[in-house]
Amino acid sequence: MSAIGILATGAYVPKQIVTGEDVAGPAGVTPEWIERKTQIAARRYAAPDEATSDLAAHAAAQALDRAGLDASAIRYLIVSTSTPDSPQPPTSYLVQNLLGTTGAACLDINVVCSGFVYGLALARALVAQDPGTYALVVAADVYSRILDVTDRKTVVLLGDGAGAAVVGPVPTGGFLDMELSSHGHAHGLISVTAGGSRTPTTHETVDNGDHLFRMDGRGVRDFVMDTVPGALRTLVERAGHQLADVGHFVPHQANGVMLSELVTRSGLDHAHTHRNLERYGNTGSASTALALDDAATNGHLHDGDLVLLAGFGGGMSLGAALLRWTGQR
């Protein structure tokens, strides 16, 4: 069996730049407070006529172009999002229609901020059992549509964006191992409580803001520090390496202060940690994909580099992948 890895990446962020000054007032904080607490200077918001599928299609098209593949070559299309265009149809089908990937098997996954890594794991498995095929993994979120502008715990962090990766056979290297885990006992740390079958949308839920994104920031931070470092070490050692071998760390861009602590707690201070949250904020499922695209397209990743990806978030969930980089086509 040939190795399976990432052939190319793609990315898209909306044009509208939203600064700390833009969100500070309604949230009852200052721009200085935002940067001190989060290290985020700006984020992007989708235009009124842009939905998740539009962002996803832009990133996917770029990844296909860089891979030198026509959309018709894609056998599996996986879209990771927790902000779909609508409850039905699946957002992946809308992306398929925009791309023209006729005949591809499409599916949505919702693992919130771990979704990109979960999508890569699923793509790897699908390609492995169907040799010679290609999968397209797209992670996209439009959180600006579900934010409470007065909630300083969330509005200062979140933005919109999309990232993509083409997964298929590579000459050497590629994915070495993956670690996925879910922790449903902590499901209440991140939530949108209304709009589903338990609490359908009503005038009352809208008036109460129950369809908006909520997060227990301290609880999330504790979960990450208690869960992620050990999982990363386990993954790397199971693949026959030591943390010291990791050259590049591409984590979910949750919060700059928390990310710095996570790097140290995980024993990865020596690695090049790729960050773009200062420019884009926390883009949910898209954040790891956007950071990976930044690293790849800016020439930081080279053939043979050991790269560690990590996503973590709502559910609560964890997804990590260790791969030997094989370069973009």
Find the length of the chain: 329
CATH class of residue range 3-171: alpha beta
CA 39 to CA 41: how far, in whole Å?
A: 6
Fold exhibited by the domain 176-324 = Peroxisomal Thiolase; Chain A, domain 1 (3.40.47)
pLDDT at 1: 52
Do 176-324 and 3-171 have the same topology in CATH? yes
**Rounded to whole angstroms, what are the CA distances from 298 to 110, 121, 294, 328?**
29, 25, 6, 12
Helix or strand (DSSP H, E) at 249: strand 248-251
pLDDT at 2: 78
User: Phi, psi (5° rounding) for residue 188?
Assistant: -80, -5
Cβ neighbours of residue 101 closer than 8 Å, sequence gap 6 or more: 71, 72, 74, 77, 136
pLDDT in tens, the chain (329 residues): 579 999 999 999 999 999 999 999 999 999 999 999 999 999 999 999 999 999 999 999 999 999 999 999 999 999 999 999 999 999 999 999 999 988 999 999 999 999 999 999 999 999 999 999 999 999 999 999 999 999 999 999 999 999 999 999 999 999 999 999 999 999 999 999 999 999 999 999 999 999 999 999 999 999 999 999 999 999 999 999 999 999 999 999 999 999 999 999 999 999 999 999 999 999 999 999 999 999 999 999 999 999 999 999 999 999 999 999 986 65
pLDDT at 328: 66
Residue 159 Cα to chain centre, angstroms: 12
Residues known to be catalytic = 113, 252, 282
Do 190 and 314 touch, CB atoms closer than 8 A?
yes
Residue the block writes with tokens 């504790």: 222
Residue 67 burial (C-beta neighbours within 10 Å; 0-12, 13-18, 19+): buried
Query: Angle, to 10 degrees, between the axis of helix 52-67 and the axis of helix 91-99?
Result: 50
pTM above 0.85, yes or no: yes
Q: Which two tokens stand for residue 210?
A: 């129950």
**Rounded to whole angstroms, what are the CA distances from 326 to 5, 125, 169, 175, 309?**
7, 19, 11, 10, 15
Do 39 and 66 touch, CB atoms closer than 8 A?
no
Do 266 and 260 touch, CB atoms closer than 8 A?
no
Q: How far apart are the first and last CA of the chain?
A: 21
CA 160 to CA 175: how far, in whole Å?
A: 28
The domain ranges of the chain are 3-171, 176-324
CA 20 to CA 74: how far, in whole Å?
A: 40
pLDDT at 247: 98
